[in-house]
């Protein structure tokens, strides 16, 4: 998680509407971009879930993270060259911290899927805005209102009850999976702030696009190298190579779909933020999560009781309220 897609969907990479996009309604351009975001991210999510629900099981989460970071390194490296930049230039020490925090986020998120249903993992990720809010209170001393605490209580009450319902009806629910998901959320909140800081560096004579290209390339490259070292040490690299040699075409297509569809959804989401506003992008990402959640139950049948439905509604309602309260904060006070 926390790559640029997660940063934008969490509302942590915020830009004002462009002059040409300010005040636009839900026109065809908006619908076109929104459909791209929803389709690409839903496709990526479905492929991601298929990887972990295979009959023979998939227990190579760090190797999957290595494949993801390696592919993204290649794409961002090509983009740097196409944009006229030097492939190996532009590194700053902050990129190393960004890479480690994002690696922890993605690695923990993938590892959590070995222990949790995809829908449970997705619902728990809706609490990310709470961790961002608490981070603002802890780091910046930003006041948290009583209404925000009530919304947070609704969110976590819903998550707790949903987890209890899943524990009673599904064999794929463990405390380890919940802890890994929480670790991913904490890392994502921290990574988002680091990425924003790196993107806003000044005094280097570079444009925002150049700084963003530098950040994406170096954090993916460093993350891939660290993943390589970890998988080599643990033996997961050898197991992963064997898996790639023996995997079916369907399994390989699922891995490719997860990596490339997710990456392809980044640009239209950034365009939504740039041409319209962050609130419009938040609406689209919220709808995308609903579509992802629903499609998971349609394509991958799993227990879903009234307790699941009620707790999910409570959790989503709390998360939406927290997000709306953040959107209503005065300009410049958000993380």
Lowest-confidence pick of 74-83, 161-170, 211-220, 256-265: 161-170
Above 60 in pLDDT, residue 17?
A: no
Higher pLDDT, 315 or 101: 101
Tens of pLDDT along 31-55?
888 889 889 988 988 888 888 876 5
Radius of gyration of the chain, Cα coordinates, nearest whole angstrom = 20
Task: Give the pLDDT confidence score for residue 272 in this predicted structure.
Answer: 76
| Token output for 61 | 């989460």
Question: What is the pLDDT, as a whole number, of residue 328?
Answer: 64
pLDDT digits (tens, 9 = 90+) for 52-84: 876 566 889 999 999 999 998 998 888 888 877
Q: Exposed (0-12), middle (13-18) or buried (19+): which is 311, by Cβ within 10 Å? A: buried
Q: What is the signed CA dihedral for 97, 102, 105, 110, rounded to 10 degrees? A: -140
Local confidence band at 329 (pLDDT 50, 70, 90 cut-offs): low
Q: Where are the domains positioned within the chain?
A: 28-327
Residue 270: CB atoms within 10 A of its CB come to 19
pLDDT band at residue 192 using 50, 70 and 90 as cut-offs? low
Write the DSSP symbol of residue 24.
-
Q: What is the pLDDT at residue 196? A: 67
Please give the mean pLDDT across all residues of the chain. Answer: 75
pLDDT for 33:
87
Q: Confirm if 193 and 199 have CB atoms less than 8 A apart.
A: no
Percent of the chain with pLDDT over 90: 15
pLDDT exceeds 50 at position 279: yes
Give CA–CA dist 280/268, Å, rounded: 12
Task: Say whether pLDDT at 3 is over 50.
Answer: no
Q: Does residue 48 contact residue 251 with C-beta atoms inside 8 Å? A: no
């Amino acid at each position: 998680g926390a790559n640029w897609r997660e940063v934008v969907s969490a509302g942590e990479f915020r830009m004002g509407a462009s002059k040409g996009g300010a005040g636009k309604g839900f026109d065809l351009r908006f619908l076109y971009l929104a459909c791209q975001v929803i389709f690409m991210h839903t496709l990526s999510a479905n492929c991601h879930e298929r990887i972990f629900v295979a009959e023979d099981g998939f227990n190579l989460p760090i190797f999957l993270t290595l494949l993801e970071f390696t592919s993204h390194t290649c794409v961002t490296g090509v983009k740097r060259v196409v944009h006229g930049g030097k492939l190996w230039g532009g590194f700053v020490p902050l990129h190393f911290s960004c890479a480690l925090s994002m690696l922890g986020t993605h690695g923990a998120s993938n590892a959590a899927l070995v222990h949790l249903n995809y829908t449970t993992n997705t619902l728990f990720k809706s609490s990310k805005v709470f961790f961002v809010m608490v981070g603002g209170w802890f780091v910046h001393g930003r006041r948290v209102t009583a209404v925000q605490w009530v919304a947070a209580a609704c969110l976590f009450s819903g998550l707790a009850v949903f987890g209890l319902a899943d524990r009673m009806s599904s064999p794929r629910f463990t405390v380890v999976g919940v802890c890994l998901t929480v670790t991913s959320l904490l890392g994502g909140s921290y990574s988002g702030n680091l990425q924003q800081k790196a993107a806003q560096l000044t005094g280097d004579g570079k444009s925002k696009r150049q700084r963003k290209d530098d950040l994406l390339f170096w954090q993916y490259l460093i993350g891939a190298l660290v993943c390589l070292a970890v998988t080599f040490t643990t033996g997961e690299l050898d197991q992963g190579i064997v898996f790639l040699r023996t995997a079916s075409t369907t399994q390989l297509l699922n891995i490719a779909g997860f990596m490339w569809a997710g990456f392809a959804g980044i640009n239209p989401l950034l365009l939504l933020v740039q041409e319209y506003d962050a609130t419009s992008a938040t609406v689209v990402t919220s709808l995308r999560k609903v579509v992802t959640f629903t499609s998971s139950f349609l394509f991958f049948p799993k227990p879903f009781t009234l307790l699941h439905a009620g707790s999910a509604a409570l959790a989503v309602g709390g998360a939406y309220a927290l997000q709306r309260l953040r959107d209503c904060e005065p300009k410049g006070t958000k993380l």
